[in-house]
Structure 1
Amino acid sequence: MMMRIANVLIRKEEDHQLPWDIFCENVVRSLVDSSSALKQMAIQLVKECHCHLLAVVLLARALKDVTDISVWELALQKLSSHSSAMEEGSSQVMKRVLGVVWYQKDLKTKYCIQHCTSRWKEGLVEGSPVSEWISSNFVQTEAEGKGIFEDLISSFLLENKDRGVFMRTETKVVLDEYFTSSLPSIYIRQGGLGLIKTPTIGEYTKEIELHDNKLSELPENPKCLALRKLRLQNNCDLMDIPQLFFEDMPLLVYLDLSHTSIKYLPRSISRLVSLQTFYLRGCKLLKKLPHHIGALQKLEDFDLEGTEVIYLPREIGKLISLRRFKVSLCGHANYCGETKQTDSAIPKEVLSIFCQLEELSIDVSPDGEWWDDDVNPASHWWDADVKAILNALSSSNKLRILELYLPSVELLQQVRFESENLEFPYFRLIVGRHQQRIICRLPNGVEKRFKTWVKKYMKCLQYINGEHMPGGITEALKHASLLFMDRHWTIKVLSEFGHENLDNLQCCLLVECNELQTIVGGDYECPSGGDRKPILPLLCHLSIYYMKNLESIWQGSIPNGSLFNLRSLTLHTCPRLTTIFTPDMLVNLHCLEELIVEDCPKIRSIVTQEHAHVESDRFLEHLRKIALLDLPQLVTISGPLCLGKKVDILFIYNCPMLESLGNTKISPNYYKIVGEKEWWESLKWHNSKWRRMTQPAYEELRTVEDVMDHLAKDIYSDQPCATKRYPDSESSDEDSVDELADEDFGDELAEDL
């Protein structure tokens, strides 16, 4: 019959009897002949199709076996309630006929139709769409899907051909344009809109994005049988989740509740049997996890970083699929007697799954009195937990990322960086007891930058409150790409750790090491001997803060290739520092892009004015950012030498004795100069032409807030400076300024006189 219909549809339309014959054949002629009223209505319906044969077939199939005359009346009303379709075009006929068909279908069938129109671009599709409907959760069973498929075949919306299925192009186009597009979206993407109320959620919604809003309440028991992803992070006003909220979300695989104010998880969390990814990052009010968390046996990624969980329930040991686990413990468990189920924050049942992990991160809050032995006799509770963790990991051959707080160097010695079983390429180890996070004391923007470096340089060692050179630290340094050393009490030269142990360092952050006098002793002899190899050859970032006795960066001879990759250098609050660069050092610093010097009262020049045999007057040609703040003795930036070629930004604040930007005929092009108005107007220039060239680049600093804003935006940001060249700065030849000056020598002389 389908073949006969297909052949009929391509016949010429001169046969005016044909539409009636087709209608009767598809609606069942005996039904039409059974009632004069139905027959009269059928004649009118065929007339309203205006000889559009496909519309006739679709309409007839919609009314097949329908004996209720009110249904026929409604169909006729829908078709005849508009102006002549011949004037409007045949697509309007299809629109009205498909409107009758669409009205008859239930919501589930409509979504299946939408799936077909959106996925089947053109041509024949092999096989039945039922399996796709099941995987998209439009239907639950194969039998249900087959029922809908047979209905669409019977309705002539879909057709079988050979071994495949297809939908006629005209049908698909009209359905797409007028019907399927009006269905409630299966994707709700309303993040960052400031919503205070949850939008209506449909039964077939697959993904919901409501992050970064102002939601404070959630619906009690939404029916989300098709939902797979739910993003609610950064709704800071959200404090409670209704107990039945997750009751009807059996297919949910991704859930993000990070940075909300929730205090507990509802009991319906156990209903999320398909959940694979669960984020609770930054939920600082969440102190405990429910015991029924163990029901999430498909969970692979569980992130509790930034929470203050008191202890982990035993039931986490039931998460047999877990591969990535991150948690922040508040550390008060043993001290406050909160863990009634165990004497440990991490029970042995939880330790049993650690050997299956690929990534493990356990952070312990260092704040408060509970680390103080005098206040808290149980302050060493974490030592025992760490030993148990390391023992559990010793049998792992899957671990690739380890982040762990180790209270003592002795515990660090249990970590085997190159053992047969435990060989992880990425680690972040915090070693040493401490009472506060020094990173919070650093200047605005530094903490964010440090976190970026930690993610980039994935082998990170943080050493806090250290003394001497323990073997465990030097061994870890051999493998580390980032070193953060905070309050080392005895070290005088970083070289004491051994140059050979610093070869892999790419980022180094040093804070409050009060005995430290210099970073590198160039004449330091490595215990292993050997020739004069480059020192710190891979180091890209060096940041130094609050160094009471630091006098210089480098002492002694400088092997070729040392500091060759250094890209940024930051010096902050070093009251005894007198030397930053020597001309000999500059030769090696080919890659330096950023220089920040702040609150170093004894600095008179960035480059010392010592005699040295240098072949060029220009150095640091890749230098892009220079920030000089609170340097009361700074007289010159580089003396007779030129630092940089095209500098994106020069930032000067509270350097009252800096009266000139250069004492040399060769000067860099500054695309942006930021400083106080009084300082700018008092500057002395090598020649007036350069002054006129530079004037458009200047931006005034008016307030302390301006200083902070510029530091965050222009200096500590890792984004390229949004600068534009000022007039006459296009020339990059070293002698361009001199040539301009020579051409205008007479004018300058007259002006100066």
Structure 2
Amino acid sequence: MEGCQRMWGSPNCSSSSCKSTGDKDLEEWKEAARQLEMSNPTKDDHDHTVFRCIKLSYDYLKHEDAKRCFLNCCLFPEDTNINIEDLVKYGIGQGLFQNANTVEEARAAASSLLKHLKACSLLLNGDQEGCVKMHDVVRDTAISIASAGDELAFLVHSGAALKKWPRRDSYEAYTAISLMSNEIQELPDGLVCPKLQTLLLQNNIDIREIPDAFFERMESLRVLDVNGADISSLPSSLGLLLNLRTLCLDGCESTDLSILGELRKLEILSLRESCIEELPEEIGKLVSLRMLDLTMSGDLKTIRSNLLSSLSQLEEIYLQGSFGDWGKPIEGKDQETNAGFDELTRLPCLNTLKVDIPDAGCIPQTVVSNPNWVKFNICMSEDLFVRLMDVHLSKIMAARSRALILNTTINTLPDWFNSVVTEKTEKLFYMIDSDLHDIISEYDQGRLNGLKSLLVESCYGIVQLMNTDIRVSNRPVFDNLEELRVHNMDSLKVICIGELPPGSLRKLKFFQVEQCDKLVGPLLQPNLLQRLENLEVLDVSGNSLEDIFRSEGLGKEQILLRKLKEMKLDKLPHLKNIWNGPAQLAVFNKLKILTVIACKKLRNLFVITVSRCLLQLEELWIEDCGGLEVIIGEDEGEASSSNMSHNSRVKEIVEKQKEEAMEKNILPQLKNLSLQNLPLLTGFYPGFASIQCPSLEQLHVQDCPLFRASTAEFHSRKQVQVNNEQHFLLLQKRLWEIRQFS
């Protein structure tokens, strides 16, 4: 083994080969080391050594599917994010994942293989969710392996800025050709490619036409991707691809897709953002079709009755931002109607669907048998904006496997639908004008025990978000909810009325309240505050609250907000107190980030008693708070004493606070402090600005004319940078990340 390490000149090489063979027994490992040592590379041929290392890792991969997935990654441009879903589609088309019975099982198999390839250092994590990357050196090696194999021969010029098709004496040996992400304008009239199985031409936006005979001699083709090409019509030779399994025509401008009916072995058909107005009846001939994707095909208005139900092998259908006229008459066709929503319930293999429906009237009251929909995203809305928003959210919420958007209440939905969909929903969005009055009654009606994320938006009938006074059951509510968002609720006045049963909201981590103008008083009163034991992020903006937390009535032995890490308060013009009431033991002791913007009536953020708990605070951003005089104010008892003159009392408070400040680091972890447009701010404490922040690194002060503290007065052990613009912009960018859906 030591000899093997001597041969590997590169740490990456060593890591790659060692990890790759790590799941072999010792004898196989010794054989791998022996083979590498036999090559006896020197420093002069380091590149060859690297190649040998990567090649050895490749050779010792257990599964052929892992090798094919690895080689498929080299078909993509250098240093690009490789979409895992593309690898799944290509793999299915190439006949990989034979032990997977469904497309979803194929995804799981691909995920496992890719995880192993990353563990072997043959692949890297992508910069985006759902992606992987391949190091340039590894990619070059993979191309070399794939170009010299007996069974495989790749032609790869992806992302090479090609304007013309690459000329070769012969294309007969190639099994895969990738010319994706180039500037090719014309395709050859015809190619003799009897062994070609994979052809990737996507992202050549200048391709306007495919010659009619282009596919005539590609009889073995199994995977074809021409996404992004503005093709106005499909060539007749496409119908000759009788072995084609995966076809990607995203963005296709052709309105006549009838020729696709010839592709009887097709399993994956992607027509995202296509221009078709009607799904051709010939699609019904695709008896092997397992996935149909028509996302964002906004012109699609017609799917004839019984077309979808003829796709007996269909496992996944995607129609978001696309067809939604279920069961409606076809325009210009007497006595003909579109496919009804009930056709989806009759597809025996369907397990995944993402669809739009205008209202509950499209859903049949009864079904022959309950469908087994494992993953779903159903948007019930007539509003095109809501439907398009749903498509966007689907892209950024990878884990959103069971989502439902409703423009009605649960009691209007058929029982079978509530059993199959509502009760299994993990993410529920309400967008109802007036019919919804209380979300607790919805919880009980829909048996939403598995709900993890809830958005309530523009529900103008809600005055009280939760009301337990009218509830009979004393069982916990929303006990698995992790995320609660309340947006644009013009009638909402209070979050919770009555006592929530113990265990309610026990898993809530994220709470956001936006643009609820009539929401007054405290946001979190004791009846709600004591249930939020796992709250980590609080984001409040655009309402009329006077207090964020009110703790009166709670016992001093109760420990609240023990996990709160981040709090953002924005555009709260009537806010007077963040915390109102006796300070609880260890309150805010995990808070790391605090942002306060446009809270013009705040005179201070916390009193001294509360501020002593801010031991983990790392980032403090205060902006446009015109009434803020100090960051940490006096405790009420100290401020209201009537037994001594004002001047002597102030002097005593100042001396006492100075003494306390010297005894203890008030904000020991504070790294970033930003103060902007605070015209009345004089310092941290009344009468003096000094505070101990031994970890302070960045100080931003702008338009704070009365704030005179120097960096030395913060007593930092580090070199404090003042008004670093680059760092300020980074903080500003991070400031708005909390707004995004998780």
Quickly name the TM-score band, shorter chain normalised: 0.5 to 0.7
Residue by residue over 1:437-466, the C-alpha shift from the partner in whole angstroms, topping out at 9 and shown as x without a partner, is 3764xxxxx98556444x4232222113x3
CA-CA distance at 1:518 after TM superposition: 2.7
Larger helix percent: 1
Alignment partner, residue 356 of structure 1: 313
Q: 2:616 maps to which residue? A: 669
Distance 1:544 1:220, change over 3 A: farther
Preserved contact between residue 160 and residue 181 of structure 2 (Cα < 8 Å): yes
* Partner of residue 320, structure 1: 287
Is the partner of 1:619 in helix, strand or coil? coil
C-alpha displacement at 1:712, in angstroms? 5.2
Cα 1:198–1:478 change in 2 (3 A) is same
Letter in 1 for 2:259: H
For residue 573 of structure 1, give the secondary structure of its aligned residue in structure 2.
strand
Distance 1:582 1:328 in 2: 44
CA distance in 1, matches of 2:433, 2:336: 21
Q: TM-score, normalised by structure 1?
A: 0.59
- Select the residue among 429, 443, 467 that pairs with 1:484: 429
2:730 counterpart of 1:716:
no
- Describe the shift of the 1:595–1:383 C-alpha distance in structure 2 as closer, same or farther (beyond 3 A): farther
- CA positional deviation for 1:311: 0.7
One-letter amino acid of the counterpart of residue 267, structure 2: E
| Bigger mean CA offset, 653-662 vs 249-258 | 653-662
Contact 1:468–1:490 under 8 Å retained in 2: no
Q: Which residue of 1 aligns with 2:462?
A: 516
Residue 563 of structure 1, CA deviation? 1.0
How far apart in 1 are the matches of 2:484 and 2:335? 32
Q: Is the 8 A contact 1:250 1:272 kept in 2?
A: yes
Task: Tell me whether 1:593 sits opposite 2:593 in the alignment.
Answer: no
1:692 paired residue number? 693
Partner of 1:133 in structure 2? none
Aligned 8 A contact 2:294 2:322 in 1: no
2:239 to 252, 270, 273: 270
Q: 1:118 to 1:429 in 2, by over 3 A?
A: closer
Conserved? CA contact 1:468–1:491, under 8 Å: no
Structure-2-length-normalised TM-score: 0.60
The answer (yes or no) to whether the contact 2:562–2:590 under 8 Å persists in 1 is no
For residues 323 and 699 of structure 2, what CA distance do their matches in structure 1 show? 45
The answer as to whether partners of 1:499 and 1:536 remain within 8 angstroms in 2 is: no
Indicate which of 382, 395, 403 corresponds to 1:433.
382
* 2:120 aligned residue: none
Q: 2: CA distance between counterparts of 1:570 and 1:194?
A: 46
CA drift at 1:316: 0.8
Q: Which residue is equivalent to 1:655?
A: 599
Letter in 2 for 1:548: D
Q: 1:587 to 1:188 in 2, by over 3 A?
A: farther
* Counterpart-to-counterpart distance in 2, 1:247 and 1:120: 35
Q: CA deviation at 1:651?
A: 3.5
Helix, strand or coil for the counterpart of 2:292? strand
Q: 1:310 deviation in Å?
A: 0.7
Read off the aligned partner of 1:404 and give its amino acid letter.
Answer: V
Partner of residue 632 from structure 1, selected from 565, 568, 573: 573
The SS at the match of 1:503 is coil
- Which structure: larger Rg? 1
Match of 1:124 in 2: none
The answer to which of 307-316 and 222-231 deviates more is 222-231
1:604 Cα deviation from its structure 2 partner: 2.9
* Change over 3 Å in CA distance of 1:607–1:314 after alignment to 2: same
C-alpha separation in 2, matches of 1:648 and 1:265: 57
C-alpha displacement at 1:321, in angstroms?
A: 0.8
Residue 628 of structure 1 aligns with an amino acid whose one-letter code is L
**Counterparts of residues 247-286 of structure 1 (less than 5 Å):** 247-281=216-250, 283=251, 286=253
1:569 aligns with one of 511, 526, 540: 511
Aligned partner of 2:594: which letter? L
Output one character per residue of 1:225-270: Cα deviation in whole Å (capped at 9) or x when no partner.
3333333444445444343433333333223333444444333322
Aligned counterparts of 1:536 and 1:618: Cα–Cα separation in 2: 19
User: 1:554 — aligned with what?
Assistant: 496
Mapped contact 2:684–2:690 kept (Cα < 8 A): no
Provide closer, same or farther for how the CA distance between residues 293 and 652 of structure 1 changes in structure 2, counting only shifts above 3 A: same
Aligned residues: 515
Q: Report the CA distance between 1:381 and its aligned residue.
A: 11
The equivalent residue for 1:147 is: none
Q: How is 1:463-482 mapped onto 2 (pairs within 5 angstroms)?
A: 463-464=406-407, 466=408, 469-472=411-414, 476-482=421-427
| Pairwise CA distance, 1:320 | 1.4
1:534-586 Cα distance to aligned partner (Å, 9 max, x none): 10111122222211112232221111111112122222211112343223423
| 1:543 counterpart = 2:485 | yes
Which aligned pairs between 1:402-481 and structure 2 lie closer than 5 A?
402-414=353-365, 416=367, 420=369, 422-437=371-386, 440=389, 451-453=395-397, 455-464=398-407, 466=408, 469-472=411-414, 476-481=421-426
Paired with 2:529 and 2:297, the residues of 1 have a C-alpha distance of: 47
CA contact (8 A) 1:221 1:247 kept: yes
Q: Show the 5 A alignment for 1:180-195.
A: 186-189=153-156, 191=158
2: distance between equivalents of 1:191 and 1:519?
54
Distance 1:647 1:653, change over 3 A: same
Amino acid paired to 1:385:
N
Match of residue 149 from structure 1: none
3-state SS of paired residue (1:478): helix
Equivalent residue, structure 2, for 1:678: 676
SS at match of 1:268: helix
- For the residues of structure 2 that align with 1:209 and 1:589, how far apart are their CA atoms? 53
Amino acid at match of 2:380: V
Q: Pick from 352, 374, 385: which aligns with 1:401?
A: 352
Deviations along 1:30-60, one digit per CA (max 9) or x if unpaired, are xxxxxxxxxxxxxxxxxxxxxxxxxxxxxxx
Structure 2 residue 582 is matched with structure 1 residue 615: no
Structure 1 contact 212–232 (Cα < 8 Å) conserved: yes
* Residue 451 of structure 2 is aligned to residue 505 of structure 1: yes
In 2: Cα distance, 1:715 partner to 1:470 partner = 32
Percent identity between the aligned chains? Answer: 23
Following superposition, the deviation at residue 193 of structure 1 comes to 5.7
Distance 1:451 1:569, change over 3 A: farther
Paired residues of 2:200 and 2:226 also in contact (CA < 8 A): yes
Instruction: For 1:709, give the aligned amino acid.
Output: K
- The question of whether the paired residues in 1 share the 8 Å contact of 2:498 and 2:527 is answered with no
CA distance in 1 between counterparts of 2:187 and 2:603 reads 62
* 1:379-405 Cα distance to aligned partner (Å, 9 max, x none): 999994242x51x34443322123332
Question: Of 331, 338, 347, which residue of structure 2 is paired with 1:385?
Answer: 338
Matched residue, 1:299:
266
In 1, Cα distance between equivalents of 2:232 and 2:246:
20
Match of 2:210 in 1: 241
Deviations 1:164-214 (A, max 9, x none): xxxxxxxxxxxx9xx999969933555556655555575433334444555
- What secondary structure, in the 3-state scheme, does the structure 2 residue paired with 1:302 have? strand
Distance 1:435 1:249 in 2: 42
